Amino acid sequence: MRKTMEINKQKLAKVKKILGAKNDTQTVDKALSLVIENREIEHAIKNLFGSLPNFETK
C-alpha cells in the first residue's frame, strides 16, 4: 500500500541508523514490526504473570 506521510527527518534518520535499515521504507517497516513484537511480548507477560512488572523507582 502506498501512503504519503510527513515524518520528522531527524527521528527517521536516528531510527534508520539504530535499526540498520537501508532506506526509509525499510526503516518504517522495521519500526512497525518492533511495535507489534513489543505488544505481543507484553501480552505474553500479562498472560503468564497477570500483569506487567512495575519498574518505576520511587
d(CA 21, CA 23): 6
Which three-class secondary structure string do you get for 37-56? HHHHHHHHHHHHHCCCCCCC
Binned average pLDDT, 10 residues per bin, the chain of 58 residues: 94 98 97 96 87 74
d(CA 13, CA 45): 32
Contact 48, 54 (CB under 8 A): no
Q: pTM for the complete prediction?
A: 0.79
Nearest residue to 15 (alpha-carbon basis) of 39, 2, 31, 37: 31
pLDDT of residue 58: 61
pLDDT of residue 52: 77
pLDDT of residue 32: 97
